[in-house]
Structure 1
Amino acid sequence: MIKEGAHTFIQGRGEVVPFLGKYAPKRADVFERIERRFAAAGLTGLRYRPLRIELEITTKCNDSCPSCGMGALPLAQGITLTPDQRSRLVDEFDSIGLPTAAITGGEPFVAMHALTPLISGLRGRGIDISKLTTNGVWGAERRCQRTFDKLEKAGLLDNELVVPLLMLSVGEQTMPLQWVARIIHHAITRYTERELNIAVSSLADPADRNHKIYDLIAAYERAYGDFPHDRVHSTMRVYLDNDRLPEQRKADRPGHTTVARWMDACFDCFAPTVGTYILPSALLKQDGRWYACASFDVPESLGFGNIFTTPLRTIIERANDSEYLQLIADGGGLRGLHGAVSAEFTKNTTCGGFCDSCGLLSDQFRTERGLPPVTPLPVIPADDLRRRLTQSAR
């Protein structure tokens, strides 16, 4: 499999080679085209502008993973974006010149009635679908071909900037691995790497570090022969905590790495990037809450508003006014907080991951600045959101 991180292209730091990477650029001038989009939307001069928004189309899921990072709900309890909400999102994304959007859930494919219109709506405004995440629920023999046909008709393959990525998530999910294998096989035999990229997100339990990816490979090879390692990208993580630093490669659960060490190893997530990732990013929850980072456990301090009640341009401006976020952006990652948060705290406090350290740093930053604790973005009831959207459309 192609390891995550094999090809990373950062604006202003070398040549961009088309069709390389998990989020492969389609054009060598991808950053120039993105800049033109932002300029046309009047977003020049801002330090933080998301190149991608991770969009939660539904909270419904057919599965029930104990460690679900998105907090998905059973089918009977979850909520899916309404047509009015989808229309509002497309308008707001277009208003800031957003280059790409990723669609996640819940499980997007239990909401096909919303998924394909959303893809069509985004592509109709020139917004690329950079990633579509799924647990493989549609991999049964009678559904697989038909679902690919619907995605193609909706415009998934019509991106202009990056090759779309189909992300298959395995781990605690209970979908039959032969279904996931069927989706992979269909994708690589029907589409080239210039049309569609495939990735497997394999998440292991911290207790034993076993990844289900190996079971998936075995299932694929039983049905179709050699696994297509040259076409499938990998994202291998441990539940709840990333496994990226040397001192974490142990049998026990991570959690004793200092915050200072995490800061020094942090990737510059605010540098415009394609290839391995698409950054900077944002997370948009199904109910409209918007965060200036797309990690599942994003700190509440990076929440800047609700897109269904506040224009996205205003939310972006709020994010750029955040001193905490500015320090990270200007410093090339969490290392930018050295000096802004006491060394006594960063060297003596430990945690299990980059996101954990960001949350701790945010709280400590506010404490040392004498600022009040972060107030989480309010969850607005669905009926209230519908009423507000109806009133704003008049």
Structure 2
Amino acid sequence: MIKEGLYEFVEGAGPVEPFLGKYAVKTPQIFERVREGWARVGLDPSSVYLPMRVEMELTTKCNDTCGHCGMGALPLAEGRTLTDKQIRYLLDQFESIALPSLAITGGEPFTAWRALLATIEGARERRIDISKLTTNGAWGTPGRCGPVFERLEKAGFLDSRLFVPLLMLSIGEQSTPLEHVARILRHAVSSYTGRELNVAVSSLADPADREHRLDQLITVYESAYGEFPHDRVHSTMRVYLTNDRLDGQEEVRRPGHTPVSKWMDRCFDCFAPTVGAYVLPTSLLKQSGDWYTCAAFNVPEKLAFGNLLRERARDVIGYANRSAYVAKVRQGRGLKALHDVVPRSFTETTGCTSFCDSCTLLIDRFDEATGETTGRSAPVPLIPVAALLSRANSPTGKAS
């Protein structure tokens, strides 16, 4: 099993080797190609923050109910999916900023099958790679597995220019039979090469025992198909995190407390252009349109810099690039940059449970010390999608 973190290529830190890593690229000139795209659409390639990928929450609907859900997914009857008009508008906005790649997540994207195909097809038309597609694998039944792969391929899932697409199978608390997940893995590794498709398994564990279902999956796979393809399957191993946006989520009981200062010192630069092990910088787009400069499960709310269903993508990126907090973290290559702003009397004596929790605390203390206001403090008035589409199609950029 290929662990997360291998084959990390950071811009300026040596050559890039294609086709290595969970988020492998197809060209050693990946950073040059991306920066050429930004320059072509009038963005400054040297900006503090420009996303290499957007994690797009296509739907909040899910066919499963997990006690701990990092993304705050909702039951099928309660969740919402981006409309066709919203998908087209968002893809047009991504094209306007030369977005290199898109990751599709949920909820469970395959509960919004038509919208999923429309997103993949629309991205291909605009030359935006699908670098990741996340699913719980409920579609891996004997009758559906092969046809779903065929339809994804027809829609353009594999038609990427810069990134090897990744199919991410999530097996945390999901009730999807592991036989379905194993069948998807078998089809992926036997039908496509590692240069055509990457596959990965994401398994989140309770922090109390840190047990994952991965061993169970390997057993199920080997009983049906023989030796598990460790050389092809990447992994993401995490522990559950508290998500304040999900009402009624089970409480996460994490033993012990880690000082904020240790999280700061171990934090890597999430704004430095990186491929291979990760795709960075990345951003999170919620189904509501809220846009964050980080795609972590429990991203601090203050890292929301606008709403892409109400504002132009380049405007929201402008807000992020004017953020003193984002600039400080980028300049100092991670949260450790804040040691000279937030006193150690706070960071060494205050405990928290994750990088994201420490980031939340640090933003508040940074704003208090500098007088800055990180994020968008005031709500933005809603503009109907029809008006946005009209504006996008108008030569003057104004709604007709």
TM-score, with length taken from structure 2: 0.92
- The one-letter code of the counterpart of 1:156 is F
1:231 aligns with 2:232: yes
Per the TM alignment, residue 340 of structure 1 is displaced from its structure 2 partner at its CA by: 1.4
Inter-partner Cα distance in structure 2 for 1:255 and 1:293: 26
Residue of structure 2 in register with 1:267 after alignment = 268
1:130 aligns with 2:131: yes
| Cα shift readout 1:137-194 (whole Å, capped 9, x = no counterpart) | 1111111011001100010111111100000001111000000000000000000000
Inter-partner Cα distance in structure 2 for 1:64 and 1:13: 42
Inter-partner Cα distance in structure 1 for 2:372 and 2:91: 35
Inter-partner Cα distance in structure 1 for 2:193 and 2:265: 39
Residue of structure 2 in register with 1:26 after alignment = 26
Secondary structure of residue in 1 paired with 2:146: helix
| Cα shift readout 1:280-329 (whole Å, capped 9, x = no counterpart) | 00000001000000001111111000001111101001001000111001
Inter-partner Cα distance in structure 1 for 2:323 and 2:281: 15
Secondary structure of residue in 2 paired with 1:53: strand
- The one-letter code of the counterpart of 2:262 is R
1:39 aligns with 2:35: no
Inter-partner Cα distance in structure 2 for 1:255 and 1:39: 47
Per the TM alignment, residue 209 of structure 1 is displaced from its structure 2 partner at its CA by: 1.4
Secondary structure of residue in 2 paired with 1:338: helix
Inter-partner Cα distance in structure 1 for 2:185 and 2:386: 41
Q: Is the 8 A contact 2:305 2:376 kept in 1?
A: no
1:98 aligns with 2:94: no
Inter-partner Cα distance in structure 1 for 2:269 and 2:325: 15
| Cα shift readout 1:196-251 (whole Å, capped 9, x = no counterpart) | 0000001111222110011011110111011000000011111118xxxxxxxxxx
| Cα shift readout 1:242-273 (whole Å, capped 9, x = no counterpart) | xxxxxxxxxx8255111111111101111100
Secondary structure of residue in 2 paired with 1:2: coil
1:322 aligns with 2:323: yes
Residue of structure 2 in register with 1:299 after alignment = 300
Inter-partner Cα distance in structure 2 for 1:263 and 1:295: 16
Inter-partner Cα distance in structure 2 for 1:210 and 1:349: 28
Per the TM alignment, residue 374 of structure 1 is displaced from its structure 2 partner at its CA by: 6.8
- Unpaired runs of 5+ residues, structure 2, are 243-252, 391-400
Distance 1:289 1:230, change over 3 A: same
Inter-partner Cα distance in structure 2 for 1:191 and 1:391: 43
Inter-partner Cα distance in structure 1 for 2:140 and 2:197: 17
Secondary structure of residue in 1 paired with 2:348: helix
Q: Is the 8 A contact 1:81 1:114 kept in 2?
A: yes
Q: Which of 380, 386, 390 is the equivalent residue of 1:390? A: 386
Q: Is the 8 A contact 1:139 1:182 kept in 2?
A: yes
Inter-partner Cα distance in structure 1 for 2:260 and 2:5: 23
TM-score, with length taken from structure 1: 0.93
Secondary structure of residue in 1 paired with 2:133: strand
Secondary structure of residue in 2 paired with 1:122: helix
Secondary structure of residue in 2 paired with 1:87: helix
Task: Report the more deviating stretch, 175-184 or 232-241.
Answer: 232-241
Distance 1:373 1:186, change over 3 A: closer
- Unpaired runs of 5+ residues, structure 1, are 242-251
Task: Report the more deviating stretch, 99-108 or 36-45.
Answer: 36-45
4+ residue runs of structure 1 moved beyond 2 angstroms? 252-255, 367-380, 391-394
- The one-letter code of the counterpart of 1:322 is S
Residue of structure 2 in register with 1:143 after alignment = 144
Inter-partner Cα distance in structure 2 for 1:213 and 1:273: 27
- The one-letter code of the counterpart of 1:352 is T
Count of aligned residue pairs for this structure pair: 379
Q: Percent identity between the aligned chains? A: 58
Q: Is the 8 A contact 2:303 2:374 kept in 1?
A: no
Residue of structure 2 in register with 1:244 after alignment = none
Residue of structure 2 in register with 1:6 after alignment = 6
Secondary structure of residue in 1 paired with 2:202: strand
Inter-partner Cα distance in structure 2 for 1:202 and 1:90: 30
Residue of structure 2 in register with 1:249 after alignment = none
1:130-279 matches, cutoff 5 A: 130-240=131-241, 253-279=254-280
Q: Is the 8 A contact 1:199 1:234 kept in 2?
A: yes
Secondary structure of residue in 2 paired with 1:19: coil
Residue of structure 1 in register with 2:354 after alignment = 353
Per the TM alignment, residue 391 of structure 1 is displaced from its structure 2 partner at its CA by: 2.5
Inter-partner Cα distance in structure 2 for 1:280 and 1:179: 33
- The one-letter code of the counterpart of 1:225 is G
Q: Is the 8 A contact 1:101 1:131 kept in 2?
A: yes
